[in-house]
Amino acid sequence: MRHLKEGMGWRLGYDPDASVFKGLVGGDRWAVELTDAEFSDFCRLALQLADTVRSLSTELMAEERIACEQETAHIWLEVEGFPKQFDLRFILLQGRRAEGGWAATATAEMIQAIPALKVF
């Protein structure tokens, strides 16, 4: 991977020169390579969902959980938890099938790393 960011329980990578699979998402013991379109959608939707959940914090009680999902033709994402601490899951929708996810602590760090990998 040309650009790789990782932390406790998560990995993100992007190689603009790769022929097919330019992106990588993963956890401690797993990883999935993504096409450029899948990776772009993953990053864009993850950032949008994080913003959406955080913006709802004023409308929820402290103990109230929320789930939000979005999808494109390539990928489905869901965040679930509290406005400041939520899990993230994804499912690839075309070609090969894969799914994965991260606990809230890993999700928070990973969301912060997304803008440093690629401009969307």
Q: What is the pLDDT of residues 57-106, one digit of tens each?
A: 777 777 778 899 999 999 999 999 988 889 999 999 998 889 999 999 99
0.85 cut: is pTM over it?
yes
Alpha-carbon Rg for the chain, nearest whole angstrom, is 14
Q: What is the pLDDT, as a whole number, of residue 50?
A: 93
- What ranges do the domains of the chain cover? 3-117
Q: What is the pLDDT, as a whole number, of residue 95?
A: 87
76 CB-near residues (< 8 Å, 6+ apart): 69, 70, 90, 91, 93
Query: Phi and psi for 60 in degrees, rounded to 5?
Result: -110, 150
What is 3-117's CATH number? 2.30.31.10
11-56 confidence digits (pLDDT tens): 999 999 999 999 999 999 999 999 999 999 999 999 999 999 888 8
- Residue 120 clears pLDDT 50, i.e. is over it: no
